[in-house]
């Protein structure tokens, strides 16, 4: 912030603090920061000045090619054992999810984290981000479903707004599946009209059954 960069911590410790109510209440392995693509070079230099280095050092031309094709850049502080992921998109290009261009920055909120005021996504934007992330990875971790359930339980969600946004982004099924799994597996309470909508969605219960079979086929519960 001191260098004029808007950076939004999400998932990891921020999700633990803002949704679960405490950093110790959710496992995580790194810190994800969302920023504008044009701020990446300065953010990278700032982290290097604090003892971080690229996880995958590349020659300049190869790094430029990497940045054009990817959506995040990983920095590590090996001495401290800390990893930071700088995101300018939420998903790879093959899974288009251009949430940032639909007013995301205008909907940011401010919250207290570790004694500092930091930026946070609106509840509706965060719910979409979590559901798309879970869908991208086939909901292979129970922790990701817990995140969705806890967010719905702890915050007031404007469902017409979030489904309207999901429709514009083409990810209604991903949102529906995330909400359905949270209710089905973890008992989160959803509004009656939303439950009726979910039960009317073709093949949604079949998708949820597939997720559950795959989820409990092996132990895979750690979140990031």
| pLDDT, tens digit (0-9, with 9 covering 90-100), for 8-58 | 999 999 999 999 999 999 999 999 999 999 999 999 999 999 999 999 999
Which phi and psi angles does 124 have, rounded to 5°?
-70, -45
What are the start-end ranges of the E strands in 35-98? Answer: 53-54, 72-77, 82-87
Mean pLDDT check: name the lowest of 36-40, 77-81, 219-223. 219-223
Does the pLDDT value for residue 115 go beyond 60? yes
46 in helix, strand or coil?
A: helix
pLDDT tens digits, 60-77: 999 999 888 899 999 999
Does the pLDDT value for residue 99 go beyond 60? yes
Does the pLDDT value for residue 223 go beyond 80? no
Mean pLDDT, to the nearest integer, of 164-184? 96
Does the pLDDT value for residue 220 go beyond 60? no
Write down the pLDDT at residue 170: 92
Confidence of residue 219 (pLDDT cuts 50, 70, 90): low
Angstrom distance (rounded) from CA 12 to CA 144? 11
Does the pLDDT value for residue 224 go beyond 90? no
Answer whether 91's CB lies under 8 Å from 136's CB: yes
pLDDT tens digits, 178-196: 999 999 999 999 999 999 9
172-186 and 123-136 helices, crossing angle to 10°: 90
Q: Residue 68 is inside which H or E element, if any?
A: helix 60-69
Model-level pTM greater than 0.85?
yes
Write down the pLDDT at residue 100: 78
Mean pLDDT, to the nearest integer, of 134-161? 96
| Terminal alpha carbon distance of the chain | 24
Place of tokens 């990701």: 144
Place of tokens 């009726």: 196
What is the DSSP annotation of 114-176?
Answer: TTEEEEE--HHHHHHHHHHHHHHTTT--HHHHHHHHHHHHHS---HHHHHHHHHHHT-HHHHH
Does the pLDDT value for residue 221 go beyond 80? no
Place of tokens 């973890």: 186
What is the DSSP annotation of 169-214?
Answer: HT-HHHHHHHHHHHHHHH-----HHHHHHHHHSTTHHHHHHHHHHH
Confidence of residue 136 (pLDDT cuts 50, 70, 90): very high
């Amino acid at each position: 912030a001191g260098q004029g960069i808007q950076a939004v911590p999400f998932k990891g410790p921020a999700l633990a603090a803002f949704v679960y109510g405490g950093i110790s209440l959710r496992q995580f392995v790194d810190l994800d920061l969302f920023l504008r693509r044009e701020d990446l070079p300065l953010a990278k230099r700032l982290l290097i000045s604090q003892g971080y280095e690229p996880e995958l050092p590349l020659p300049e031309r190869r790094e430029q090619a990497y940045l054009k094709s990817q959506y995040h850049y990983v920095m590590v502080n090996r001495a401290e054992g800390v990893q930071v992921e700088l995101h300018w998109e939420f998903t790879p290009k093959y899974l288009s999810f251009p949430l940032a261009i639909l007013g995301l920055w205008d909907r940011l909120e401010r919250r207290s984290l570790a004694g500092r005021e930091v930026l946070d996504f609106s509840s509706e934007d965060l719910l979409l981000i979590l559901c798309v992330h879970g869908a991208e990875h086939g909901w292979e971790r129970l922790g990701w479903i817990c995140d969705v359930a806890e967010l719905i339980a702890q915050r007031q969600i404007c469902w017409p707004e979030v489904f309207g946004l999901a429709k514009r982004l083409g990810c209604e099924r991903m949102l529906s599946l995330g909400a359905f799994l949270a209710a089905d597996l973890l008992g989160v309470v959803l509004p009656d009209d939303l439950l009726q909508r979910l039960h009317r969605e073709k093949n949604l219960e079949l998708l949820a059954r597939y997720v559950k079979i795959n989820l409990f086929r092996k132990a895979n519960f750690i979140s990031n």
